[in-house]
Chains A and B, each alone.
With several copies, the nearest count.
Chain A
């Protein structure tokens, strides 16, 4: 099952819905160990993406993702803006020119996104950031592809891994971002950025599931 640019566009729209629905939830998580704005930031960013999509409807998937990334960079601010912005832009460059995406492209996308986040934010695993949700997703995709899994399966496994990664941030002591200032007090709270990462990856899986 190949993913078309229409699917990509729909997926981004769906992500905007999911983020909007979870705006308060993400902000509440950020209240506990941050500054109470992650949901608000992400929602502002995905609304900005929605505004940009009409201008790239006939473009390749790479351009669409890069445009989304640029919209995030110039509208989100905070830590999430440059991180997700870079992730989407790098993901777009990884599939530059493509109008149809296969299962392998999903690896390219998520791997590039992860590398972008790390390049920009220099977080390590277990620093209690979005890296802790995206890394297991990338790993599991790589493995699943090796086992010959298809798009839906690959993404479902990725979503499950991201979810586990997200939950695994709860007992972690934050070492990057705002939460790191809390020291021991950051323990016991789920990282907001890991949560939004899971929500986005899960949306990809749901899109694939529905399309199937």
Chain B
């Protein structure tokens, strides 16, 4: 294992220490339980946005905390969901009196830990809603699986919902907006290489020199299918079509119902993309691919979208939701409308994403 680390068990702690030293104007870090929060938290009267998940996906989520985006982020161990006490304490620290929205990627671990945290926070009198992101088209059905994983759309949702929170949307409206972003976003990822969880010390899987994994998540897990290595254009086409040609997707998720005061099953349906849609195209580096490669993917994606009648109105290209040093990429398309465009363009100042300020 070749990494710029000290003891594997100290990776997350020392990363957080580094962030605290490097960006005191943007974030503060609390240890035991660990969470990253806005340097100016709590922002009075603003709904607080909290996300979290395993570490190893940097800049997500700690690097997405700041003005116009998250108020708090709870980092777990590498690829391991954080614990409810982190999420509870983060909520207590950042909530500015207008409630807390948890943005949760749909992984069994994240979902269960955030559910426990939401219950705990509510029992302490904090208004909480919680929205799942499940956008990974590599997962075809939700009946025989834990449902689609939360991947690239998470970053876009955090930006857009963060801007709306800054604008003064209330908790209910933010939850609705986050749900809207989620059902309009879809992603698909692939890996050229595996990655190595520091504590495990060896690559999660072996991938021969001439093979790749299609339909991977972001945890170094093998994907849906292993196949022989293809060109950037062929890979882009596979990923893009898996998104664009994805039919309507419906599933039942659990959401907190504020009126009933309990978790209820909600059925959601993602509408398929159609010609004429305006989209945001997000080409994500899994972490270890050379930066020169991403525009090559974008180039082909642009061509495919054009052919399919999708108009790319915004883009995001780079490592935003990574799997440690894995080589590979993912594509996310999000259908945009005027509200989303305005919120996307709004100023943001975080470690990993910054513009307009």
Contacts and interface: CB of A to CB of B under 8 A. Distances in A.
Interface of A: 27, 31, 33-37, 40-41, 44, 73-83, 120-121, 173, 175-178, 180-183, 185
A77 B221 contact: no
Given A27-B200, A73-B116, A181 B138 contact: yes
Given A79-B108, A180-B146, A40 B85 contact: no
Given A74-B84, A181-B145, A181-B146, A79 B222 contact: no
B112 A83 contact: yes
A177 B217 CA distance: 13
Interface residues of B, number: 36
B186 interface: no
Contact of A75 (B81, B83, B112, B217): B83
Contacts of B85: 73-74
Contacts of A121: 108, 112
Interface string B188-225: 00000000010110001100000000000101111010
Contacts of A27: 199-200
Nearest to B199: A40
A76 B83 contact: yes
B79 A37 contact: yes
B199 A82 contact: no
A178 B200 contact: no
B79 to A, nearest CB: 5
A106 B219 CA distance: 37
B222 A37 contact: no
B28 interface: no
A81 B109 CA distance: 8
Given A77-B76, A181-B149, A181-B224, 11 more contacts: A31-B205, A33-B221, A36-B200, A37-B80, A40-B77, A76-B80, A78-B54, A78-B76, A81-B112, A120-B112, A181-B139
A95 to B, nearest CB: 22
A82 B221 contact: no
Nearest to B77: A77
Given A35-B221, A36-B220, A78 B109 contact: yes
A12 to B, nearest CB: 19
The 5 closest A-B pairs by CB, nearest first: A82-B112, A180-B145, A35-B219, A78-B109, A79-B109
A41 B76 CA distance: 11
Contact of A82 (B116, B144, B146): B116
A175 B109 contact: no
B146 A178 contact: yes
Given A121-B112, A181-B138, A181-B217, A78 B145 contact: no
A35 B77 contact: no
B80 A77 contact: yes
Nearest to A43: B199
Contact of B200 (A31, A73, A80): A31
